[in-house]
Amino acid sequence: MGVKILLDKAHVEGIRYFDVYRREGGYQAAEKALKEMSTDAIVEEVKKSGLRGRGGAGFPAGMKWSFIAKPEGVPRHLVCNADESEPGTFKDRYLMEFLPHLLIEGLLISSYALGSHDTYIYIRGEYAWIVDILEQAIEEAKANGFLGKNILGTGFDCNIYVHRGAGAYICGEETALIESLEGKRGNPRIKPPFPAIQGVWQRPTVVNNVETLAAVVPIIRMGGDEYAKIGVGRSTGTKLISACGNINKPGVYEIDMTISVEEFIYSDEYCGGIANGKRLKACIPGGSSVPILPANLLLRTAKGEPRLMNYEGLSDGGFATGSMLGSGGFIVLDEDQCIVKNTYTLARFYRHESCGQCSPCREGTGWMEKILKNIDTGNGKMSDIDLLWDIQRKIEGNTICPLGDAAAWPVAAAIRHFRDEFEWHVLNPEESQKRNYGLAHYADPIYVATP
Amino acid sequence: MIQFSNEQMTEFNRLVSHYPEGKQKSALLPVLHLAQNSFGGWLSSDTMDYVASLLQIKPIEVYEVATFYSMYNLKPVGKYMFEVCQTGPCMISGCDDIIDYIGKTLGIKPGETTADGLFTLKTVECLGACGYAPMMQMGKTYREHLTKEKVDSIIAECRNNAAANN
């Protein structure tokens, strides 16, 4: 069994409610932080923990906090990013649904550290029932003196509000989220100025993912140094992985980032192997925007070593032979899945979600969708594959926000690793409508050059 | 006449109170949800103008937001809206069959509403339920692990509820 510090109490009956959460040791970290620690000491512990943003980018959370401007007389805000919309990702939902007080406690400690008296949870509009769960938890915390005025007699005031979005992937990008929180379209802002200087209502703002803020609780409880001992290298602590696709046990798992991808997929403690006795063909290991990998490169790095389930392990080899841990949305494809069709649905997703501000993304995502649909339905040309490659390269890096990159990477990786499957579709338009290309050579041992 | 009831007005005031003085526009997204739920499940231009007047902002500021976000309905929808996810993870778990099946059973295509005004079928992009695919959103809840049998029973449940409420 791996270390569990976030979901360890998830199965305790009634843990959703304050009394049970408190009985199980909840809010002790908040008491410690508010009564015994200075705000600088909390930031220091988070820095020492090595906690990296769990939303996808992996930026060190303590460093992000230390950037916040503190101009005299200007309120600061902490905003929790609960817009979880990256296909394959449903971990924050689980955390909020079953452990709302863990998030509230993390928000309280973090709000105190950052000096935020009005903290917002920006939640995706579709998670409507979770809004009720969170608002109930907030009321309970308030009734028990953990939110509101003069919390625990420390003189610190803090309120938490839930702000419901309305269906827009782009609002997971922090500046789009801020625009949306201000009641506008979710158009990302040009940076600088960064939110830490001018965020919501032009005030200094820190935006952190749900899981990141929840992780602050065990960090304060055990101390940053102890937290950093879990995991390996710069992948400290635990990570929630939401696993889906063709596996026996889809769901949300907490891993300590020392296990291998192979163990995660095949062990009964986690995914329990590929469903229906099928074979593994490919996997998108960190949410739909990270590069898809064929089975052989997923399980082993280009050097032939077992690939580990952590930031460094999954990105080993760069985009040439690796991928990214991203948001932890782990999508598994078995031998019956069609890479062209899968890539087409993702391209459609990004076209749908592009905010339309930057032409490379607004136009390019639409072109990629159309071309992929043509190939998928047996109407593709060989030159379409190179055209796709060309378009994605012209989107990547040429947009205000990372949605452009997120749209480009899945197409690039699919062509990079599965080009023969695309060619087969073009050369066999009729057959490709009747059967899938199959596993082909994608699980074959990779050639490893010996020095 | 488009006007919030006293109860809806209380909720409106609660939502606006979440934001700083003078930043009431920030309540626009939550207030549009409230308006959509209060006035027939969609946002008519009258409804949007009403929201603009309540928040003391220009109508265009409401229109541009209402058209940007996918959850706001800009035309009337059925009493029950089946919003079926069609993105990658749901696709590899068989959502295409479910979308076809709902369409055939109800006699409508995605984007259409049944003649009796009961059902609307809509395909949507990832709803964050990938591990429980195929799935759809129905009102405030998710219906997950969909099968043809489950779809049949949901449709029956909706018909029964509609009959009971008439």
Chain B residue whose CA is closest to A343: B88
Q: Is B141 on the interface with A (CB under 8 A)?
A: yes
Q: Which long-range contacts (CB under 8 A, 24 or more apart) does A361-370 make?
A: A361/A395, A361/A399, A361/A403, A361/A404, A361/A407, A364/A391, A364/A392, A364/A394, A364/A395, A364/A404, A364/A407, A364/A408, A365/A395, A365/A407, A367/A391, A368/A392, A368/A407, A368/A411, A369/A344
Chain B partners within 8 Å of A85 (Cβ):
126, 128
pLDDT at position A134 is: 98
Burial class (CB in 10 A: 0-12, 13-18, 19+), A343: buried
Determine the Cα–Cα distance for residues A179 and A202; give it in Å rounded to an integer.
11
Is A166 in a helix, a strand, or coil? coil
- Mutate which: B26, B37, B130, vs A, most A CBs within 10 A: B130
H or E segment to which residue A205 belongs: strand A205-209
Q: CA torsion angle for A424, A429, A435, A436 (degrees, to 10)?
A: 30
Rounded Cα distance, A178 and B9, in Å: 26
Residue with tokens 């020492």: A48
Instruction: Using CB atoms, pick whichever of B18, B64, B128 lies closest to residue A124.
Output: B128
Q: Is there a contact between B125 and A352 if contact means CB atoms under 8 Å apart?
A: yes
CB contact under 8 A, B130 and A250: yes
Q: Are the Cβ atoms of B26 and A183 closer than 8 angstroms?
A: yes
Count of CB pairs separated by less than 8 Å, A with B: 147
- Given an 8 Å threshold on Cβ–Cβ distance, is B87 in contact with A346? yes
In this complex, the residue of B27, B89, B137 whose CB is nearest that of residue A244 is B89
| pLDDT value at residue A169 | 97
DSSP label at residue A122: E
pLDDT per residue, tens digit, chain B (166 aa), is 899 999 999 999 999 999 999 999 999 999 999 999 999 999 999 999 999 999 999 999 999 999 999 999 999 999 999 999 999 999 999 999 999 999 999 999 999 999 999 999 999 999 999 999 999 999 999 999 999 999 999 999 999 999 998 7
Residue A181: its chain B contacts at CB < 8 A?
Answer: 26
For residues A117 and A115, what is the distance between their CA atoms, to the nearest angstrom? 6
B130 touches chain A (CB under 8 A): yes
To the nearest whole Å, the CA of B166 is away from the closest chain A CA by 26
B57: nearest CA partner in chain A? A183
For residue A448, the model assigns a pLDDT of 74
Query: Which of A90, A163, A180 is opposite residue B130, by nearest beta carbon?
Result: A90
**pLDDT value of position A450:** 65
Output A250-253 pairs: Cβ under 8 A, ≥24 positions apart: A250/B130, A250/B131, A250/B132, A250/B133, A251/B131, A252/A7, A252/A90, A252/A91, A252/A94, A252/B131
CB-based contact B29 A245, cutoff 8 Å: no
Contacts of B126 in chain A (CB under 8 A): 85-88, 169, 288, 349
pTM equals 0.96
User: Running DSSP on this structure, what letter comes out for residue A379?
Assistant: -
Give residue-wise pLDDT tens across range A371-414.
999 999 999 999 999 999 999 999 999 999 999 999 999 999 99
Q: What pLDDT sits at residue A447?
A: 79
Residue A423 confidence (pLDDT): 98
The 10s digit of each residue's pLDDT in A85-126 is: 999 999 999 999 999 999 999 999 999 999 999 999 999 999
Question: Tens digit of pLDDT per residue, chain A (451 long)?
Answer: 678 999 999 999 999 999 999 999 999 999 999 999 999 999 999 999 999 999 988 999 999 999 999 999 999 999 999 999 999 999 999 999 999 999 999 999 999 999 999 999 999 999 999 999 999 999 999 999 999 999 999 999 999 999 999 999 999 999 999 999 999 999 999 999 999 999 999 999 999 999 999 999 999 999 999 999 999 999 999 999 999 999 999 999 999 999 999 999 999 999 999 999 999 999 999 999 999 999 999 999 999 999 999 999 999 999 999 999 999 999 999 999 999 999 999 999 999 999 999 999 999 999 999 999 999 999 999 999 999 999 999 999 999 999 999 999 999 999 999 999 999 999 999 999 999 999 999 999 887 766 6
B126, A86: Cβ pair inside 8 Å?
A: yes
Give the integer Cα–Cα distance in Å for A339 and A282: 9
Confidence at residue A387, expressed as pLDDT on a 0 to 100 scale? 98
Each residue's pLDDT tens digit, A412-432: 999 999 999 999 999 999 999
